[in-house]
Amino acid sequence: MLPALRLLIASLGVLLISSSAAQAASKSLALPAEGQVAVTFASGVKSVKVKSAPAGVTVAGGVKGGKLAVAVVRPRGAATGGKVVLTLKGKVKGFKTVAAALDGGGKAPACSGLDKLLAKRVAGKADVQGLAGVLAAKLCGKPAPADAAAILARLGLGAPPAPLTMTNGPRGPIKDGARYPA
């Protein structure tokens, strides 16, 4: 009887260990367009880690209360190919990705605490503290912070700056080959 009980306990232990390992899954996310941010949401997640990300790309976000929010930040001039691979633990369900979060893109499933969650850098070098507030405002339909344009420009995000031309030079308009003050 004792060996049978030992066998039962050992098989139960193996089953429990293998079931927790089976819940860890990899999810690959496509890179957003150049100068853009993609935000992914899911539920049932216990933890998230970045397995791989292309050079120049920053990944921010995390898990709180089983809800996942991850932002993939691709500044202008960053890597053009590849993908971000996440390792997720838990029973993941309801994946939703907003591909162009800086354009508003769509409604976030959970707006409360989204700015604090996206302020955590998981991989990369960009400073995501200020960007988190801008993203949360755009995804939740609220007005963006006053310094949003400066934050996006500093990180190389948003529309590229207009190139200098003969009509909008740094010192004002040009007329008949001579520069006149504006």
Determine the pLDDT at residue 14: 59
Encoded amino acid at 155, one letter:
L
pLDDT in tens, 106-165: 677 778 888 899 999 988 888 888 898 888 888 888 888 888 888 888 888 876 666 656
CA atoms of 8 and 24, how far apart (whole Å)? 25
Which comes out higher in pLDDT, residue 141 or 171?
Answer: 141
Q: Would the pTM count as exceeding 0.85?
A: no
- DSSP H helix total and E strand total for the chain: 4, 8
pLDDT tens for 30-79 read: 888 888 898 999 999 999 999 999 888 999 999 998 999 999 999 888 87
Q: Is the pLDDT of residue 169 over 60?
A: no
Place of tokens 């150049």: 34
Element (H, E) at 9: helix 2-22
Lowest mean pLDDT among 49-53, 80-84, 95-99, 165-169: 165-169
Contact 37, 105 (CB under 8 A): no
Q: Higher model confidence: residue 131 or residue 168? A: 131
* C-alpha dihedral sign at 98, 50, 36, 111: positive
DSSP string, 71-89: EEEE-TTS--S-EEEEEEE
Strand partners, 36: 74
Amino acid identity for residue 161 in this structure: P
- Residues β-bridged to residue 165: none
